[in-house]
Amino acid sequence: MSERNSWPASNEDYEFSSFHELVLTQKILEVIHRFSRDEQICPSPFSLRDTMLAVSALLHLEGVKIASAQIGHSVNCRQANRRFTQAASERFEAVMEAAAVRAAQRKH
């Protein structure tokens, strides 16, 4: 699936193999299934695509930021993961707030 499966310049062995990608993909699909069942909704593939593109964009932005900050330096994978998770969550919350404002503006 992906050729870049480890942290750049990492001294630690935290490889993310094709196996891990497949397992994570399966878990994401399970979460979508449970969410749909629990919320009693049936999201279209286009809605799910847009959601995954938003997540992908956040991952890309944070990945590039982390990679460029770590050029020539050793990476602490656990610390980088924490920073990434926090930054991605903050960005996602900002996107959700902007979407809510936009939806409210359309109603008026």
Q: Looking at the DSSP assignment, which residues form a beta bridge with residue 10?
A: 75
Residue 33 binned pLDDT confidence (cut-offs 50, 70, 90): very high
Tell me if 10 sits within 8 A of 77, measured CB to CB: yes
Domain contains 79 = yes
Domain contains 10 = no
Residue 87 binned pLDDT confidence (cut-offs 50, 70, 90): confident
The reported pLDDT for the residue numbered 35 is 93
Tell me if 84 sits within 8 A of 62, measured CB to CB: yes
The reported pLDDT for the residue numbered 96 is 77
Residue 74's domain comprises 18-107
* Position 6 pLDDT exceeds 70: no
* Position 3 pLDDT exceeds 60: no
Domain contains 68 = yes
d(Cα 83, Cα 62) in Å, to the nearest integer?
Answer: 9
Domain contains 13 = no
Which residues, including other chains, have CB under 8 Å from residue 17's CB and lie 6 or more apart? 5
Domain contains 72 = yes
pTM of the shown model: 0.60
How many domains would you assign to the chain?
Answer: 1
pLDDT per residue over 37-50, tens digit each? 999 999 999 888 98
